[in-house]
Amino acid sequence: MDVDPRLYEQIAVNDNDIHNIIMSYLVHNCFKETVESFIACTGMKQPSDYLEDMEKRKRIYQFALEGNALKAIELTEQMATNLLEKNKDLHFDLLSLHFVELVCSRKCTEALEFAQMKLTPFGKEQKYVEKLEDFMALLAYEEPEKSPMFHLLSLEYRQHVAESLNRAILAHGNHPTYTAMERLIQQTTVVRQCLNQEHAKDGPPPFSLKDFLKS
| Cα atoms found within 13 Å of the Cα of residue 45, Cβ hemisphere only | 4
In-domain check, residue 134: yes
In-domain check, residue 105: yes
For residue 1, the model assigns a pLDDT of 42
Q: How far apart are CA 188 and CA 206, in angstroms?
A: 10
Q: Are 25 and 179 in contact (CB under 8 A)?
A: yes
For residue 78, the model assigns a pLDDT of 95
User: What does the pLDDT profile of the chain (215 residues) look like in tens digits?
Assistant: 455 555 566 777 788 888 889 988 998 888 888 988 998 899 887 766 667 789 899 999 999 999 999 999 999 999 999 999 999 999 999 999 999 999 999 999 999 999 999 999 999 999 999 999 999 999 999 999 999 999 999 999 999 999 999 999 999 988 888 888 888 888 877 777 777 777 666 655 666 667 766 76
Element (H, E) at 202: none
In-domain check, residue 135: yes
In-domain check, residue 204: no
Q: Hey, how many other C-beta atoms are within 10 angstroms of the C-beta on 28?
A: 23
Q: Are 46 and 139 in contact (CB under 8 A)?
A: no
In-domain check, residue 22: no
In-domain check, residue 202: no
Q: How far apart are CA 86 and CA 82, in angstroms?
A: 6
Q: How many domains does the chain have?
A: 1
Its pTM stands at: 0.82
Alpha-carbon 55 to chain mean position: 17
Q: Hey, how many other C-beta atoms are within 10 angstroms of the C-beta on 48?
A: 7
Q: How far apart are CA 9 and CA 16, in angstroms?
A: 18
In-domain check, residue 12: no
pLDDT in tens, 163-211: 999 999 999 988 888 888 888 888 877 777 777 777 666 655 666 667 7
User: What are the DSSP E strand ranges found in 91-169?
Assistant: none
Q: Hey, how many other C-beta atoms are within 10 angstroms of the C-beta on 208?
A: 12
Element (H, E) at 120: none
Q: Which residues contact 56 (CB under 8 A, 6 or more apart)?
A: 75, 79
Q: Which domain holds residue 97?
A: 47-178
